[in-house]
Amino acid sequence: DSGVTQTPKHLITATGQRVTLRCSPRSGDLSVYWYQQSLDQGLQFLIQYYNGEERAKGNILERFSAQQFPDLHSELNLSSLELGDSALYFCASSVGAGTEAFFGQGTRLTVV
Amino acid sequence: GENVEQHPSTLSVQEGDSAVIKCTYSDSASNYFPWYKQELGKRPQLIIDIRSNVGEKKDQRIAVTLNKTAKHFSLHITETQPEDSAVYFCAAHEGNSGNTPLVFGKGTRLSVIA
């Protein structure tokens, strides 16, 4: 157990819908990263937060948004879902920059 | 932004042989280079990391080397075992400003054949 909790573990939804993925970082970790992993693909960086502030953005679609709350948990919102959004979404947390990032178990999103 | 290239994408070795995975990075400001192992259906987990003030680091059968001048780093696994079969990811990070992401390579699928 990495200490990073992601909910839900599995999500099946229809095209055009909106979903919210939740991540609770390890106690004391201020940085939260979101990654997308499609079948046989690498870890595509989506967005990073540090202590409530957005710090870096990757190739995140405009249909996707995220935030980090005062209690440091983070949510990734995916809207107008398309079949191609089906993937494993990982959240990772770390104490800060340049330190080990711990991954949650991921949320497997299936869009039908 | 940072770009990390990883080779090879797949690697098959006989049990007991060595495996080497190579990565290059683009941002000369990057100073933290972790390696993650992801077993099938599981989360990525850190197996070793190296910082830019060190050229080599070992942990039992695993070693990582870093060449800052050439901007490349490598993972070496010796005496491979079937349980080493997994996908391995390298990553690079500029760890001072806190404003840059942890960027991963596309991964190497290692198969150790018994």
Tell me how far CA of residue B114 lies from CA of B4, B20, B82, in angstroms: 31, 18, 6
Q: Are B43 and A103 inside 8 Å of each other by CB?
A: yes
* Alpha carbon separation from A70 to A2, A52, A67, A73, B94 (Å, rounded): 22, 6, 10, 8, 25
pLDDT at B10 (0 to 100) = 97
Given this model, what pLDDT does residue B101 score? 84
Cβ–Cβ below 8 Å for B89 and A90? no
Euclidean distance between CA atoms B71 and B23, whole angstroms: 9
Q: Is the peptide bond before B8 cis (omega within 30 degrees of 0)?
A: yes
A89 in B contact zone (CB under 8 Å)? no
Question: Do the chains contact at B95 and A99, CB–CB below 8 Å?
Answer: yes
Put simply, the answer to whether B100 touches A43 (Cβ < 8 Å) is: no
How many C-beta atoms lie closer than 10 Å to residue A28's C-beta?
9
| Mean confidence (pLDDT) of chain A | 94
Q: Does B97 touch chain A (CB under 8 A)?
A: yes
Interface check for B49 against chain A (CB to CB < 8 A): the answer is yes
Q: What distance lies between CA A56 and its chain's CA centroid?
A: 13
- Mean pLDDT score of chain B: 93
Q: What pLDDT is stored for residue B95 in this prediction?
A: 66
CA distance B34 to B90: 6
pLDDT in tens, chain A (112 residues): 889 999 999 999 999 999 999 999 999 999 999 999 997 778 999 999 999 999 989 989 999 999 999 999 999 999 999 999 999 999 999 988 778 899 999 999 999 9
CA distance A94 to A98: 9
Percentage of residues in chain A having pLDDT higher than 70: 99
Verify whether the Cβ–Cβ distance B106 to A41 is below 8 Å: yes
Helix (H, G, I), strand (E, B) or coil at B76: strand
Cβ neighbourhood burial of A2 (10 Å; 0-12, 13-18, 19+): middle
Average pLDDT over residues B73-102: 90
Angle of CA points B42, B47, B51, to nearest 5°: 135
B101 vs A2, A45, A106: nearest CB: A45
Q: Which pLDDT score is estimated for B97?
A: 67
* Interval B100-110: pLDDT, tens: 788 999 999 99
Interchain proximity B43–A2, CB inside 8 Å: yes
Placement of tokens 């390890």 in the chain = A26
Beta strands in chain A, from DSSP E residues, in sequence order = 5-7, 10-13, 19-24, 31-37, 44-50, 53-57, 64-68, 74-78, 87-94, 102-103, 107-111
Q: Which pLDDT value is given to residue B98?
A: 63
Residue B73: pLDDT above 70?
yes
Establish if A104 touches chain B: CB-CB under 8 angstroms.
Answer: yes
Report the SS3 class of residue A96.
Answer: coil
Supply B60's token pair: 């039992």
The shortest CB-CB distance from B105 to any of A42, A94, A96 is to A42
Average pLDDT over residues B43-72: 94
B65 in contact with A at a CB cutoff of 8 Å?
Answer: no
- Partners of B104 on chain A (C-beta within 8 Å) are 35, 42-43, 45
User: For residue B94, what pLDDT band results from cuts at 50, 70 and 90?
Assistant: confident
Q: In terms of pLDDT, which residue wins out, B19 or B31?
A: B19
